[in-house]
Each structure stands twice: as C-alpha cells, then as structure tokens.
Structure 1
C-alpha cells in the first residue's frame, strides 16, 4: 500500500535496528503488527460484509467511509494531541479501539454494529499512527533517518503479507480478525513495558482550534489537500470497487488478495529505486502528475479490456502510480510548511484522504452499483480514468502556480 518518504542512508537495516533503543524497536514492531492486522482484513472487508454478512453495496460504502473518515480525518487533531498527552496513553487508546472494532465485526450482525465497529477501527488508527511516528522520532536519536526507513519497510511488509493471509483464510475471515486481535493484545502489553510514560513535550502554545484555523489560511496547503483528494478517490476504488469487480466480472473472491499482495510487493521493491531516479530529475508536483498518469492508464486498461489479464495490468500500473504519489504528498507538505509546524501540515494534508475516501466510497460505490446493474463496467472505469487525468493536470497546474508565485516573490525581494 503506502510507504514513507524516507530513504535508507547506507546503514545495514538489521544493525540499525539492533542499535536503537527498546522504545524505538517497540514502535517499529508495533507499526508492523498494526499494518499486518489492518491489511489482513481491510482490503477484504467489502467482500466479507457482502458475501458473508449479506450487506448491500451502498451500506458497505458507508461503512468504509466511516472507517476512512475517522482514520484519515482525525490525525490532524491526534497529531497535535500526541505532543500534549502521554504517548503511552494515546497508543493504548489506539490499540484498544482497534481491538474493539475488530470484535464488533466478528460478533455483529447488523448495519449499526458494523458502522460503530468501523468508527472504532478508524479512531484506533488515527490515535496510534501519529503517536507512533512521534515516539519513533524522539527515541531513535541519531538513527532517526534509518528509523523512518525501517518504518517504511515495516508498513510495506505488513501490506504485502496481510492481504495474502486474509485471502488464504477468506472463507473463515473471522479467524483472521481473532489473529489480529491477539497480536494487538500482545503488543499492548509490550507498549506498557517498553514505552516510557513521559509527559507531553513542549507543544505549540496556541489552542488546537486556533492552530487549525492558521493552517486553513495557507492556500498552498489547501490546494495540495484538494488535489490529493483526487488520488485518494482513485485509491479507494482499488480497495473497494476493484475487489467487487473481480468477483462480479470474473468470479474471484479470496484470489484478489494476491493482487493486493502484488501491489505491496511492487511498492516495497521499486519505490526507492524509481524515486531516486525520477525524484532527482523532476520536482515533486511533476512526479505526482506522472503518478496520476499511470493511474489513468491503469483504469483505461480496465475499461478497454474485459479479461483477467487486465486485472493484473491494472494492479501493476496502479502500484507504479501509488509509489510515486504517496511519499511525494508528504514531501510537498513538508516543503511548504514552516519548520515549527511540519507536524500540523502533515496531519492536515491527510484530510485529502478523508475527502477522497468519502467521495470514493459513497460516490464510487453508487456509480459501481449502477454499472453492475446495467452492465456498464467500461463506462465506470472510464470515469475513473477521467478523474485520474484531471488529478494529473491539477498537480501540474499547482506546481506551475507555486513556482510562479515563488519567482515573483524572489524578484520583488531583489527589487
């Protein structure tokens, strides 16, 4: 799925891990466990709710929307809270919330229970992820760059193995939920042993509401967030409608987990290599536009070819677009952010994921249900290809606009 923007700096990863504090090691292990548990169930959640629990497509879209809104919409707040609250407490809240959400999906049999469960899973992710990043940054010392490179590897390893495990046990997916709960419960005990119960570090003196209003005044941040929503809309289709399309058009169920695993493996193995070459020659906005172009080609392949090979081709093209865009979004946000508010900017840009997820699950789910009932899958994927083209043009335009303003400001300063 997604990886971080940090690249290895030549240190052997195993030696670097061994040289880190127990607290940093615990965060890396926890990130791997959390990602593994997430990807064992979330990519297959739509199929599970539809085939095993009998939920309607529109309701499934709403359930996934709640999960994404909580998981991606709240980090702008929880990221700030991680500097104000005891880190161990916030990590524990995140882990317990995810455990409760997974239990709800196991025991629930009605739409309301699934909605609450999705909310708990999303809140758990929102509480855990930014806090784990903050603890890792504070506890890794001189090995911070290596720590975040290892975090990227942990995320992608979990994203690669998770769908494979979920796909293999799809017929009994509740067992996978139980396994994820057991892993999280064990890790919760490890958090209380290894993570120090330190008080909050010195945070911004502004109240959180005032800080959010200040972020809203930066038009560059708002533009990046809006443009990124186009990508996250398309990303949602990969995790939502693409899995259902593979079943409706070709009779696939658990087999689609292999494509999600292939997605993660492609990102894990090629991201550093491609970004090292492309990123040295192109600015971040152009790299994002190139990634969106790859997405457009992928969705066009689904629209043009009604064969199983198109599923594989789409997965490859989508993965290439993803590995270009995801790390660049954080890179661009950090480049336009004042140094003292980088965390807030990185948290705020995640709202693009929330907005794109909302449109992708509700709008995409509705459009897919219509295409399925009318047999117009090609038109549905063509619409997604058009969204990708608009997203690519948006990134290009924003890059040009920001460079133009920067040049004007520089010339005014010289004058």
Structure 2
C-alpha cells in the first residue's frame, strides 16, 4: 500500500490498488467467516435467521454497489474509498461492542455498506489502469484482475489465521481487531490514493440508470449473480457441513487457507488459460464447477461422518470446487464489463454487477437458509438443501452459454 508521492495526483498506480485488496481482505476474512458461528453458538439463532442476517450483510454491501459505483463516477474514487473505510470501521465497532441482536444486525449492515463504497471504486480504477496497460502492449486487463484476486487471497490467508488466533477470546475481540486494521488502512490510503483529476467535474456523466437499459447486460448480471450467491455459502452453508461432520470453528481457518493457497498457486495460470479459451467456454464451465461443489457435498450429507480427517472431505471438495470455479469466472466476468460499458460509468456498471449479486444472496439465503437446518445431522433429507444450492449455478451455466454467444466486441 505504499507508493511514490507523485501518484497522489497521477493516474491510479496498480500496485496500490492490489495492496488495498490485500489489506481489505485481511480485515474481512478475520471477521466475517466467524460471524455465522457467533450467531448460532452465542446468540442461538436458527438457520433461517442466520441466513437472513448474513444475507442482509451481503446485500448491504453487494446490493449497494450500484450506489457506491455511481458516487465514485460522480465525486471520484478517492473520497468514496476513504468514506467506505470509515463506515466499515463503525460497523466492526458495533459488532465488537454489542451483545444484542439489533446492533449486531446494524453493525453487519454497516460493514457491508463500507465495502459497497470502496470496492467498486477500486475495481473501476483497476479497469482503467488495466486498459492503459493493455493498450501499451503490457499486462492485459484480465490479468490485472487475476493479480488482484491473488493479492486478495493473500489477505484471505492471513485473515482467517488472525481470526483463528483471536477466536479463543470470542468473536467480539476479532471484530475489534478488524476495526483497528481498517483504521490503519484509512490513514495510509488518505496519503497515497490519487486524487480525482480536476477535469472529472467537467465531464457530462451518463445517468447511472442508463446502465439498466441494456438488455444483454442485465441478463449477464442476473446470470452472474449466482456466482456471489454460491461463493457466499462459504459463510452460511460451510459451517453447517462442518457441524454435520463433527467439526467446528477451529476448522474454518485451515479451510479458508486452502482456498487461498489454491488461488495464489493457480489463479495466474488459469487466467492465461481462460484468455486462450474465451468467455464462451470459461463462464459456463465455471458455473458448472460451482454447481458440482454443492452436488459433491450432497453425496455425503446423508452418511454418518467417519473418524479423523476424512470427515472434512466434503468440506474440502466444497472449498476446492467453489474456488476453482471462482478463479475461472471472476477475471473473465470483470473483464467483460468494459465491453458492455465502453468508457462510460464504469463504476456504475461494476456496481450493478455486484448489486445484482447482493439481491441474489439476500433472496437465496432467506429462501434456502431454513433448509440448511435439515443438513445439520446426517439423514436422507440432508441431501435436499445441497441439491437446491446446486441448481442455482447450474441454471446460470445454461444462461451464460446462451449470453456469451453474442458478446459485444472488445472496447480496447
């Protein structure tokens, strides 16, 4: 997160954006993966209530991305990113200092709103930097997004480890530690983020709602939303499977480290492979992998878990297949957004992509969260929730196959 002084008034410096993802993910993964366990074990909430709270948290972030992206287009990325850090700090403080449900829900929503402010701004800046790089014959825009994913996963390695180290003290000290990390990030970013060019205020902005007057783009983000819904199940459904297998909080950290190691090792090779194969093949294949992750757990859900490490095999399969699917989907999907947007309102387009995902998570968690109570113990009925989860990305795979046949040409 360090850069030279002249970047304050120059074009975005990609390593600064990558470093921001690193730190933000440390703060995120140190807290959020443990929230479901806190709600179930300490606050004694049922599955549907936990799904609703986690859905509200995700919707507050992903569902508000459109607003965050529009604000970034209007006022510049720097001020919006800094405001996002302040809001997330407030949310973590509420989680760390509250012991009743209402302020916990409010804190969870504030953490999401903070992310809704800073994430689309960083994505838009990275898309701009990647476009310049690709025009110069250097690293492609998709490869910059892949590198961003690698840096984010480095944070996702350290985050759960930090959370696991503090988990013995309870969830709330973990939340307070997360707030301290974002306070440090706020200070560094205040001095290092580039200011918005003065000419940006003179540009005539296309209204953000024009984003939704593109039928193919709307179809794309609806289908893409199954990715965020599926990956969000690491926070809702994975703890359920761990409970069925006799595992617990201590197993979450190593499983998230596994996901991060996979991304760090495989993301760049898979990004190059995806570029050769093209979106028409990669996006449907990625969503099929997401579907297979839930189908794999369904194969074990009705059985009594074995002793030893083999009890974690379904969780390992879930993590692995979801992560590989993510590595295929995200760089390609992010790279397609400028092809829909051209050079107009990139922040709003990235915000719309994430907002639709937030809607999918809120609706899906509310509708399917209660079903997961049936998966807490081995039984034939425990298979049904996992098959229902598998159906969502499977339908998106079919939709992506159709949408990608008529993609707009690259706008480079």
Tell me the TM-score range normalised by the shorter chain. 0.7 to 0.9
Gapped regions of structure 1 (runs ≥ 5):
1-13, 407-415
Matched ranges for 1:276-287 at <5 A: 276-281=272-277, 283-287=278-282
Partner of 1:205: 204
1:315 and 1:350 map into 2 onto residues whose CA distance is 22
What is the Cα-based RMSD across aligned positions, in Å?
Answer: 3.0
Gapped regions of structure 2 (runs ≥ 5):
306-310
Matched ranges for 1:247-326 at <5 A: 247-281=243-277, 283-305=278-300, 306=303, 307=305, 308=311, 309-326=313-330
Partner of 2:358: 354
Structure 2 residue 386 is the aligned partner of structure 1 residue 385: no
Change (3 A) 1:288 1:254: same
Change (3 A) 1:377 1:20: farther
Partner of 1:56: 46
1:245 and 1:360 map into 2 onto residues whose CA distance is 18
Partner of 1:157: 154
Change (3 A) 1:21 1:320: farther
1:301 and 1:101 map into 2 onto residues whose CA distance is 35
Q: Is the CA contact (8 Å cut-off) linking 1:20 and 1:143 kept in structure 2?
A: no
Paired residues, number: 385
Q: Is the CA contact (8 Å cut-off) linking 1:75 and 1:127 kept in structure 2?
A: yes
Q: Is the CA contact (8 Å cut-off) linking 1:284 and 1:331 kept in structure 2?
A: no
2:66 and 2:174 map into 1 onto residues whose CA distance is 30
Partner of 1:239: 235
Q: List per-residue Cα deviations over 1:310-357 (Å, max 9, x = no partner).
A: 221222122111111122221222223323343332221112311221
Partner of 2:84: 94
What SS class does the counterpart of residue 179 from structure 1 fall into?
Answer: helix
Partner of 2:69: 79
Q: Is the CA contact (8 Å cut-off) linking 1:167 and 1:255 kept in structure 2?
A: no
Partner of 1:111: 101
Change (3 A) 1:312 1:135: closer
Partner of 1:215: 211
2:285 and 2:364 map into 1 onto residues whose CA distance is 21
What SS class does the counterpart of residue 200 from structure 2 fall into?
Answer: coil
2:82 and 2:274 map into 1 onto residues whose CA distance is 40
Matched ranges for 1:64-75 at <5 A: 64-75=54-65
Matched ranges for 1:173-212 at <5 A: 173-195=171-193, 201-202=199-200, 205-206=204-205, 210-212=207-209
Give the TM-score of the pair, scaled to structure 1: 0.82
How far apart are residue 117 of structure 1 and its match?
A: 0.5
Partner of 2:332: 328
Farther-moved stretch of structure 1 (220-229 vs 376-385): 376-385
2:195 and 2:229 map into 1 onto residues whose CA distance is 38
Farther-moved stretch of structure 1 (171-180 vs 256-265): 171-180
Q: List per-residue Cα deviations over 1:141-193 (Å, max 9, x = no partner).
A: 97797776654332121122212222333232323222222222222222333
1:148 and 1:297 map into 2 onto residues whose CA distance is 25
What SS class does the counterpart of residue 339 from structure 1 fall into?
Answer: coil
How far apart are residue 102 of structure 1 and its match?
A: 0.7
What SS class does the counterpart of residue 82 from structure 1 fall into?
Answer: helix
Partner of 1:224: 220
How far apart are residue 263 of structure 1 and its match?
A: 1.1
Give the TM-score of the pair, scaled to structure 2: 0.83
Q: Is the CA contact (8 Å cut-off) linking 1:72 and 1:353 kept in structure 2?
A: yes
Q: List per-residue Cα deviations over 1:251-276 (Å, max 9, x = no partner).
A: 32221221122112212211211231
Q: Is the CA contact (8 Å cut-off) linking 1:234 and 1:360 kept in structure 2?
A: no
Q: Is the CA contact (8 Å cut-off) linking 2:98 and 2:104 kept in structure 1?
A: yes
